[in-house]
C-alpha cells in the first residue's frame, strides 16, 4: 500500500488491466472474490491524489465502477461505493460523472429503488423477525446510505 508501490503499479498499466478484468468477470462466487480484490486494489491506488487523477482520466473507468456499484449487492457494492466517494471528492471526478447524464440517472434510480425497499421492509415487520431478515434489512439500509452520500457529493454546489 505504499505510495511508491502504488505508483509502480500504475506505471506498469495496472489501472487498465484491472478495469478490463472487471469487465470480464462473471457472477460466479470465485469471480466475485476476485472482483472484491480488484476493486480494493483500485481503492488503494485512489488513496493518492495524483493516482486518483490517473484513474479518473482512464476511458470508461467511472462507468465501469458505477456499473459495479449498481450490479453488486454484497461487499463489492461497499468497496465500489468507497471508490466512487473518493472520485467524487475531486472536481475532475464530479465533472466526469456529470458529463454522463445516464450514469447520474442510474445513481438516482438506485437511491429511489433502495428507498422503496427500505420503506417496504420497515412496513412489513410482523412479530419476531428472523436474523436473516434483519441482516438483509441492515444491508439495504447501509446501501441506501452509501448511495445517498454519493448522490449528495455529485449534487452539492
Cα angle: 47, vertex 73, 108; to 5 degrees: 80
Domains in the chain: ranges and CATH: 3-155 (1.25.10)
Give me the pLDDT at residue 74, please: 85
pTM, rounded to two decimals: 0.90
pLDDT (average), residues 89-105: 94
Give me the pLDDT at residue 126, please: 67
Report pLDDT digits (tens) over 17-71.
Answer: 999 999 999 989 999 999 999 999 999 999 999 999 999 999 999 999 999 999 9
Q: Kindly provide the b/e burial profile for residues 69-82, where b requires at least 16 CB atoms within 10 angstroms of the residue's own CB.
A: bbebeeebbbbbbb
User: Comparing 113 with 134, which gets the higher pLDDT?
Assistant: 113
Cα angle: 88, vertex 81, 13; to 5 degrees: 75
- d(CA 123, CA 7) in angstroms, rounded, equals 49
Give me the pLDDT at residue 62, please: 95
pLDDT (average), residues 82-92: 95
82 alpha carbon, distance to own chain's centre: 6
* Coil/strand/helix, residue 89: coil
Report pLDDT digits (tens) over 123-147.
Answer: 776 666 677 777 888 899 999 999 9
- In angstroms, what is the C-alpha Rg of the chain? 17
Cα angle: 48, vertex 51, 52; to 5 degrees: 80
Give me the pLDDT at residue 128, please: 61
Amino acid at each position: 500500500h505504499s505510495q511508491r508501490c502504488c505508483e509502480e503499479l500504475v506505471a506498469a498499466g495496472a489501472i487498465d488491466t484491472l478495469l478490463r478484468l472487471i469487465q470480464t468477470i462473471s457472477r460466479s462466487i470465485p469471480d466475485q472474490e476476485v472482483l472484491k480484490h480488484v476493486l480494493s486494489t483500485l481503492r488503494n491506488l485512489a488513496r493518492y491524489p495524483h493516482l486518483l487523477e490517473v484513474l479518473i482520466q482512464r476511458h470508461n473507468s467511472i462507468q465501469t465502477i458505477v456499473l459495479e456499484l449498481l450490479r453488486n449487492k454484497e461487499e463489492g457494492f461497499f468497496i465500489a461505493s468507497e471508490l466512487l466517494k473518493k472520485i467524487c471528492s475531486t472536481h475532475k471526478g464530479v465533472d466526469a460523472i456529470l458529463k454522463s447524464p445516464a450514469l447520474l440517472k442510474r445513481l438516482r434510480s438506485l437511491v429511489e429503488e433502495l428507498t422503496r425497499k427500505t420503506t417496504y421492509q420497515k412496513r412489513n415487520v410482523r412479530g419476531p423477525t428472523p436474523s436473516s431478515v434483519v441482516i438483509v434489512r441492515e444491508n439495504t439500509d447501509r446501501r441506501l446510505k452509501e448511495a445517498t452520500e454519493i448522490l449528495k457529493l455529485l449534487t452539492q454546489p
